[in-house]
């Protein structure tokens, strides 16, 4: 049980450092735009980004206090994993629980084309 707690704490530390780095980016956008407050922030988070959504939201709530984003809405777009299937010669979803295989034909498809991103895609400022 102790081990599990340690893991969860380390987990949360990871999302906290992600939240802090997002807030740095947001802060520089705000200063560039001459804004004192941020209305909303939109992220794209891939299913294979290694980010746990709930932990990120929790860390965001902690980290944003007393920043330009203290009242900003956090909007998260989940990005499903997609691979390039050499058999279909197309972008496909992946079958779950079988490694990376094409959802359509079952061919091994190790090339991930989407789903690992963690991107800040929009910051809506209040000037
Ligand atoms: Zn396929």
- H helix or E strand, kind and range, residue 8: helix 2-33
pLDDT tens, residue by residue, 14-63? 899 999 999 999 999 999 999 999 999 999 999 999 999 999 999 999 99
Whole-number Å distance, alpha carbon 38 to ligand 1 midpoint, is 43
Whole-number Å distance, alpha carbon 97 to ligand 1 midpoint, is 16
Whole-number Å distance, alpha carbon 53 to ligand 1 midpoint, is 29
What is the pLDDT at residue 29?
93
Q: Whose CA is closest to 22, among 122, 102, 89, 116?
A: 122
Whole-number Å distance, alpha carbon 107 to ligand 1 midpoint, is 6
Quote the radius of gyration of the chain (alpha carbons, Å).
Answer: 18
Is residue 2 over pLDDT 90? no
Q: Which fold has domain 2-126?
A: hypothetical protein PF0899 fold (3.30.2320)
**Measured distance CA(99)–CA(122) in Å, rounded:** 33
**Measured distance CA(114)–CA(45) in Å, rounded:** 10
What is the pLDDT at residue 3?
56
**Measured distance CA(87)–CA(103) in Å, rounded:** 11
Q: What is the mean pLDDT of the chain?
A: 90
- The domain locations on the chain are 2-126
What is the pLDDT at residue 97?
77
What is the pLDDT at residue 13?
78
What is the pLDDT at residue 5?
59
Starting at the earlier edge strand, list the strands of the sheet with 82-85: 90-93, 82-85, 112-114
**Confidence band of 96 (pLDDT split at 50, 70, 90):** confident
**Measured distance CA(43)–CA(74) in Å, rounded:** 8
Note if the pTM is more than 0.85.
no
Whole-number Å distance, alpha carbon 75 to ligand 1 midpoint, is 32
Q: Whose CA is closest to 23, among 69, 59, 54, 55?
A: 69
**Confidence band of 11 (pLDDT split at 50, 70, 90):** low
What is the pLDDT at residue 125?
92
């Amino acid at each position: 049980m102790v081990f599990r707690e340690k893991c969860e704490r380390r987990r949360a530390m990871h999302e906290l450092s992600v939240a802090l780095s997002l807030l740095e980016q947001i802060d520089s956008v705000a200063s560039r735009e001459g804004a004192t407050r941020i209305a909303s922030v939109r992220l794209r988070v891939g299913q294979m980004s290694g980010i746990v959504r709930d932990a990120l939201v929790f860390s965001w709530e902690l980290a944003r206090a007393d920043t330009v984003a203290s009242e900003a809405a956090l909007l998260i777009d989940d990005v499903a994993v997609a691979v390039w299937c050499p058999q279909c010669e197309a972008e496909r979803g992946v079958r779950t629980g079988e490694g990376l295989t094409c959802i359509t034909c079952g061919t091994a498809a190790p090339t991930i084309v989407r789903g690992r991103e963690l991107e800040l895609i929009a910051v809506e400022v209040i000037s």
